[in-house]
Amino acid sequence: MSNFVPRKEHLREVLIHYFILKKRAAESYRILREAYGEHAPSQDTCERWFKRFKSDDFDVKDKERPGQPKKFEDQQLQALLDEDACQTQKQLAERLNVAQQTISDRLHAMGKIVKEGKWVPHQLNERQMENRKVISKMLLQRHERKSFLHRIVTGGEKWIYYENPKRTKLWVDPGQPSSSTARPNRFGKKTMLCVWWDQEGVVYYELLKPGETVNTDRYQQQIINLNHALIVKRPEGARRHGKVILLHDDAPSHTLKPVKDTLKDLAWEVLTHPPYSPDLAPSDYHLFRSMAHALSEQHFKTYEEVESWVSEWFASKQEKFYWDGIHKLPERWGKCVASDGYYFE
């Protein structure tokens, strides 16, 4: 039994059995959790299926999502993508003689996403999608009650390669690598950029020496350095807005006890962020994406050239650029909820 991985349909048929036995969704969830462990659906999912059963709908297959195009329309669009996956929505709309919004809706319904610079790790499973949806809904509701975006400081890490081939957009299925897109040689010379920023601009960054990476001790010191930078660069904000809200991902160096202890000492709040969600991380969907465009076809010979380029690029961005990146978050949380936790781009 330990090696058995149940299909979604199997789990839903088991739920029908418990529904007929007049068990509650919460009780059914606990039983499934004991039997199947991490493969069991979430309690919210169980409750959703019980609602469907109460309406005499016992079809265990996934329903087509609202607005999903007919299969023959999908086939036409897929044929064009097979021909050239780098076509824009406008180009696809012109070739099919439809509105661009129609193409956008079709691509979304087909589960297509654009991969550009950031590689989505894998196809999301049901639990991960549910987690993304629940967290996004919670954050959106919190924002609607009282905006907290002005308190967010977000950060991330990005490899900067000395040789940067030009990238192109590809429409692909989630989890599918865009193999025809030019990628930097990951074995070539590179340096890691670590940056933290808010709605006003870059607060603190480090450009690591070639060969250096971030471990727990390094990240802990970076957080301390970031705090010093905030005191100097955002003194009014610290007095007016209270605690910092840190938005970072769940990389091992970010989540171990020494870092957690430092954040607790600083009295910073860590904003809940679902795993496998670059589309909900401002550094990924905004800052690094824009930087990737600017880096296209750049060639660096020395670390000092990279350092100079990064400094000039940050300085070239107006405050509105950073403001836009942070203030897109509610819209993106809303899109995640509306897409039931699927990637929405």
Question: 126-338: CATH homologous superfamily?
Answer: Ribonuclease H-like superfamily/Ribonuclease H (3.30.420.10)
292-334 confidence digits (pLDDT tens): 889 987 899 999 999 999 999 999 999 999 999 999 999 999 9
**pLDDT higher than threshold 90 for residue 133:** yes
- For residue 89, CA distances in Å to 27, 44, 80 come to 46, 35, 11
Model confidence pLDDT, tens digit, residues 252-285: 888 889 999 999 999 999 999 998 899 999 999 9
For the ranges 226-230, 235-239, 336-340, which has the lowest average pLDDT? 235-239
Considering the chain, tell me which residue range(s) the CATH 1.10.10.10 domain(s) occupy. 71-110
Residue range 71-110, CATH number: 1.10.10.10
Whether residue 35 is predicted with pLDDT greater than 80 in this model: the reply is: yes
pTM over 0.85: no
Whole-number average pLDDT of the chain:
83
Query: Which residue intervals of the chain bear CATH 1.10.10.1450?
Result: 8-54
Instruction: Give the tens place of pLDDT for each residue, 54-65.
Output: 988 888 887 655
Give the percent of the chain with pLDDT over 70.
80
Structure tokens at 100: 């661009």
Confidence grade of residue 179 (pLDDT, cut at 50, 70, 90): very low
Domain 8-54 coded CATH 1.10.10.1450: yes
Angle at 48 between CA 127 and CA 330, to 5 degrees: 60
